[in-house]
Amino acid sequence: MRPKQAPAHEADPYFPTHGDARYRVHRYELALDYRPVPNRLGGTARLSALAGSEPLREFALDLADFKIGRLLVDGRAAHYTHRAGKLRVRPAKAVAADAAFTVEVHYTGNPKPVRSQWGGLGWEELTDGALVASQPIGAPSWYPCNDRPADKASYQISITTPSPYTVIVGGKLLTRTTRASSTTWVYEQAAPTSSYLVTVSIGQYETVRLTDPASASGPTRSTPLLSVPQAAYLPARLLPQFTADFGRQDAMMRYFEELFGPYPFDEYAVVVADEELDVPVEAQGMATFGTNHVDGEGTSERLVAHELAHQWFGNSVSIADWRHIWLNEGFAKYAEWLWSDHAGGRTAAGHAAAAHALLAGLPQDLRLADPGKKLMFDDRLYQRGGLAVHAVRCALGDKDFFRMLRDWIAIHRHGVVTSSDFTAHAQHYTAGSLDGIFDAWLRRTALPPLPVNR
């Protein structure tokens, strides 16, 4: 079955000024040069796109405050304006309805995070290097894009930096070429990817090939080759602690593949940036942690599980718009509970009871299926999302619940979904009605009773 795409005419209700629903991008090719000192980024972005059902006399890209050197549509210079993070383009000749077209943007500047109610988002200059954490609207901080989660595309990203630095991008490393004092890294992410899930980390990092049991420094040197290629990039001083904290990541990978189906991408990378971060950040085929998430005692292991689970829930199966964010975070939260149960810690039912007790003492003004922009990253959404998943498990029973999850991932692999897609899907796995459960957990704000196994 072909992955579902969101209706082309729909704008994201939480961020209506981001993205342009009049066209779709199916491939980005970014050729960039970055100098950590003085935080200078420049290069070319080439977008291969498809017009919607009406001719495109103009269209828009999202791009922060960069200097535009040249802008071409189908190889011809186009008129444009660039204000308030919006690059509005008028091709020399209108693009016909349903026609393929290309956009080429040459740009330079000093990248910085996009301002938001959650702080800066996107490209962040570090003490020595840079990282990208774009969720939900930070992608325009470093490249021109159609910044809406439903518009998924493949990417090829080439980045040139001074040779002492390692460049990590979510995807497969195709080539690494050193000339004089600079090195060019070329990555390919073939799977359809939302703009906010494209990430870059640049730093002076140690590389740990987790798939190589003969590695002199790899934390899994005595284990067999892993089923999914995995690597880590981190400050060398943190290797001993990393070994303890991420030592069970391969076991997580194998367990999640049993529960959710095959890992949806070619490989998985973990970066420990040489900086403290408030929270880890998922990206397509990759996750970024801070030094504060590595203590050698496994304190952040639940976060390791959470970010890995996002590769299935959020990255491969993506939301059509941000109203449905619980489908990302609720399932990743529940994956934490499943891993804890499997690894001999607190059971999933125990975690559900603890989350329910926590929520019972907090304001009950959050509607899970449409929390509003203000509450979309509220911790209550994560906890209630996990409880909603647990409620479905209790209603279906384990056999049908996990069959339902595996089918959900397989059917919508690399596609986009909504809350109503999930409720309709889950209903197929029971003769009884799930309407009461979904109404109580997703559409109403009052906390329902704690779910119990049937």
Tens of pLDDT along 134-181?
999 999 999 999 999 999 999 999 999 999 999 999 999 999 999 999
Q: Tell me what the mean pLDDT of segment 240-266 comes to.
A: 95
Q: Bigger pLDDT: 222 or 441?
A: 441
What SS3 state is found at 353?
Answer: helix
Q: Tell me what the mean pLDDT of segment 202-224 comes to.
A: 60
Q: Are residues 41 and 188 in the same domain?
A: yes
Q: For residues 330 and 348, is the Cβ–Cβ distance under 8 A?
A: no
Q: Is 201 within the bounds of a domain?
A: no
Q: For residues 171 and 155, is the Cβ–Cβ distance under 8 A?
A: yes
Q: Is 3 within the bounds of a domain?
A: no
Write the CB contacts of 391 (distance below 8 Å, at least 6 apart in sequence): 437, 441, 448, 451
CA 445, 449, 450, 454 torsion-angle sign: negative
Spatial distance between the Cα atoms of 417 and 150, rounded to a whole number of angstroms: 9
Q: Tell me what the mean pLDDT of segment 331-345 comes to.
A: 98
Q: What is the pLDDT of residue 210?
A: 77
**CATH number where 55 lies:** 2.60.40.1730
Q: Is 6 within the bounds of a domain?
A: no
Range of the domain at 282: 206-316
Q: For residues 329 and 312, is the Cβ–Cβ distance under 8 A?
A: no
Q: Are residues 223 and 181 in the same domain?
A: no
Q: Are residues 249 and 184 in the same domain?
A: no
Spatial distance between the Cα atoms of 421 and 437, rounded to a whole number of angstroms: 15
The pTM score is 0.94
Length of the chain in terms of residues written: 454
Spatial distance between the Cα atoms of 343 and 9, rounded to a whole number of angstroms: 45
DSSP alpha helix (H) spans, 310-397:
326-342, 348-360, 379-396
**Residues 423-438: tens digit of each pLDDT:** 999 999 999 999 999 9
Q: Is 184 within the bounds of a domain?
A: yes
**Residues 270-312: tens digit of each pLDDT:** 999 999 999 999 999 999 999 999 999 999 999 999 999 999 9
Q: Are residues 370 and 388 in the same domain?
A: yes
365, 346, 367: which is closest to 355 by C-alpha? 346
Q: What is the pLDDT of residue 10?
A: 72
The mean of the pLDDT values for the chain is 94
Q: Are residues 174 and 214 in the same domain?
A: no
Q: Is the pLDDT of residue 365 over 70?
A: yes
Q: Is 296 within the bounds of a domain?
A: yes
Spatial distance between the Cα atoms of 195 and 146, rounded to a whole number of angstroms: 7
Confidence label for 226 from pLDDT (cuts 50, 70 and 90)? low
Number of domains in the chain: 3
Pick the last residue of a domain from 291, 316, 341: 316
Q: Is 61 within the bounds of a domain?
A: yes
Q: Are residues 417 and 371 in the same domain?
A: yes
